[in-house]
Amino acid sequence: MPDTFEPHNIIVTGGCGFIGSNFVRWVAREHPGVHVTVLDKLTYAGNPANIAGLPESQVELVVGDICDADLLDRLVPGHDAIVHYAAESHNDNSIANPEPFVQTNVVGTYRLLEACRKYNVRYHHVSTDEVYGDLALDEPRRFRPDDPYKPSSPYSSSKASSDLLVCAWHRTYGIRATISNCSNNYGPYQHVEKFIPRQVTNILCGIRPKLYGTGENVRDWIHTEDHSRAVWDILTKGRIGETYLIGADGERSNIEVLRQILSIMGQPEDAFDWVRDRPGHDRRYAIDPTKLREELGWRPIHTDFSEGLAQTIEWYRSHEDWWRPAKEATEVKYAAQGQ
């Protein structure tokens, strides 16, 4: 039987980033009785505008670093759960400069676990399917919770390290923890460095989209709102000490997704550039979400990828003020890497 837990006053780390802010807005809408303290350092990827307009009585922003133990000592007491999204999240950045990934993703998780231990707080750890490495393009197998960890990049190895810390803190100190490993998210408020927003905003700026390598690499797309609901289900009904994989049967090759974007945006299907491949580029991710579906009854709502993609494109079209300030610097960085 799953454990049940009724949160009243939660900390969401990284709540000004892409997935964290979508979770905060989802909780504010679906669970108006729950108070949310967002703890976010506001790195290049964090933007307070992502949670603007939510009721002040329900959502509070604390600007700070998850690695700051003194801040955690002041903030954590009185909260009943931490949902940990904060991370350095971009593979390409981790290849160019791994250090912030070790600091935030590994040391930051350690500090949060220590705070949970000290103040007896429930902990949910948001992680990635990339900890399992990659699959061959043609094998029928998908990732399952008990698969061995085999991360490829500095980013995914830092996330894998943080997952292992959570397992140890649960087993050794009895921390009430769960872990979720999710596949690639799409939806509003995703930084323009990531694949879908980069291509969409390139087209909106008159720049040709950029495809790495052969374009055959496969990602398993899930709408960020379906991810939010899954995290809530695990937080409130998941078994303590367990890992749940989150995925929505959304496998598609990069070239297929790019052609869909080009088609929706009225561009010829070959109106893109092939660019240098990512070193160590994972070939394919695919999630078997059976455990989440059977134990917790979770189902994705956004099952029509074309419709979700069209809505996401429309969001970027109508929110140029949101993405424009980050666009130029992002493209300058990519150009320097030959991408």
What mask, x for binding ligand NAD by CB under 6 A, covers residues 158 to 197? -x----------------------x-xx-----x------
Cβ–Cβ under 8 Å, residues 187 and 248: no
Q: Where are the beta strands (DSSP E) in the chain?
A: 9-13, 35-40, 59-63, 81-84, 122-128, 177-182, 185-186, 210-212, 218-220, 222-223, 243-246, 251-253, 273-275
What mask, x for binding ligand DAU by CB under 6 A, covers residues 157 to 186? --------------------------xx--
**Residue 129 annotated among the catalytic residues of the structure:** yes
| Token pair for 73 | 């000592």
Query: Angle CA(162)–CA(164)–CA(168) in degrees, nearest 5?
Result: 120
Cβ–Cβ under 8 Å, residues 101 and 30: no
289 binds ligand NAD (CB under 6 A): no
Stretches 21-29, 31-39, 97-105, 123-131: which one binds ligand DAU (CB under 6 A)?
123-131
**Residue 130 annotated among the catalytic residues of the structure:** yes
302 binds ligand DAU (CB under 6 A): no
How far apart (Å, rounded) are the C-alpha atoms in residues 1 and 237?
9
Instruction: Find the catalytic residue in 65, 88, 129, 226.
Output: 129
**Residue 285 annotated among the catalytic residues of the structure:** no
Instruction: Find the catalytic residue in 65, 114, 130, 193.
Output: 130
Q: Nearest approach, Cβ of 235 to ligand NAD (angstroms)?
A: 14
Which phi and psi angles does 9 have, rounded to 5°? -145, 90
94 binds ligand DAU (CB under 6 A): no
85 binds, among ligand NAD, ligand DAU, none (CB under 5 to 8 A by kind): ligand NAD
According to CB under 6 A, which one of 67, 76, 200, 296 is a site residue for ligand NAD? 67
Beta-carbon contacts of residue 147 (< 8 Å; ≥ 6 apart): 132
For residue 65, give the DSSP letter: -
Binding site for ligand NAD (CB under 6 A): 13-14, 16-20, 40-43, 45-46, 65-67, 85-89, 104, 108, 126, 128, 159, 182, 184-185, 191
